[in-house]
Amino acid sequence: MDIDLPFVLTWAVLISGGIWLFDAVLLKPKRVAARVSSPDVGDDTEDHKPILVEYARSFFPVLLFVLVLRSFLGEPYQIPSESMVPTLDVGDFILVNKYAYGLRLPVLGTKIVEIGEPERGDVMVFVPPHDPRYFIKRVIGLPGDRIRYVNKTLYINAERLPYEFVGEITRTHVPTGMVYSAREYTEEIGGGKHFTHRLGRVEAPAEWVVPDGSYFMMGDNRDMSEDSRAWGFAAEDQIVGKAVAIWLHKDPGLHWPTLARNRWLQEEQQ
């Protein structure tokens, strides 16, 4: 079962803060008054403060700090699938910049401060329309763009993206252990280049027009990615942040973490 950590964390902050505030405003004055009228009652900082209030006062600052950090600055995620191979592999831990596209309220996702907007070629974390879990894909189409996908080739507003063949590669599919071959290309979009993989899957030509407040998303592993071709567009109010770096990698199973894949994702576009 997937846990909605921002939701849980937000409620933990509200509950612990509410308990602390309730005690400070209503209960503590009564304890202080009782101590003044009856010196034998003892010091408020010792035995007479409820244990629940002690816990709330202790945990509230820590929970608030973590909530602010995760909601407005950065957050780590682990890549669970091969949809973004070869850019991101299964087991990569990525750092997501939460303020790149504006500051948003936790849980609600409402933007409260404008900072930037997604650009073509960005690797973005978001919540798709059909699944409550976080997805990570590449931004292909912006609001108003006309996207065509024909013979594994992308056209944006009738302009074909530049491609360059790199070579044939062999990979092992992580969940099944199946060995397969793919053709690797560089694709240029948004002023940068990244690698993509193509298999032999046949797809009918398709075309989309990106509506306002939405983005067309695709995985770099084009034939192993469930993306906007299948479920539609990523909504602007469901954006989580921009993936900026790989900071750790751990292969599935009993393997030690490694720093061998560490890099800034911007480096792929140089």
Positions annotated as catalytic residues are 83, 137
Beta bridge partners of 243: 96
Q: Which amino acid is residue 225, in one-letter code?
A: S
In terms of phi and psi (left: phi > 0; alpha: psi -120 to 50; beta: otherwise), the region of 256 is beta
Three-state secondary structure of the chain? CCCCHHHHHHHHHHHHHHHHHHHHHHHHHHHHHHHHHCHHHCCCCCCCCCHHHHHHHHHHHHHHHHHHHHHHHEEEEECCCCCCCCCCCCCEEEEEECCCCCEECCCCCCEEECCCCCCCCCEEEECCCCCCCCEEEEEEECCCCEEEEECCEEEECCEECCEEEEEEEEEECCCCCCEEEEEEEEEEECCEEEEEEECCCCCCCEEEECCCCEEEEECCEHHHCCCHHHHCCEEHHHEEEEEEEEEEECCCCCCCCECCCCEEHHHHHC
φ, ψ at 16 (rounded to 5°): -65, -40
Tokens representing 160 are 């074909």
Q: Which amino acid is residue 196, in one-letter code?
A: T
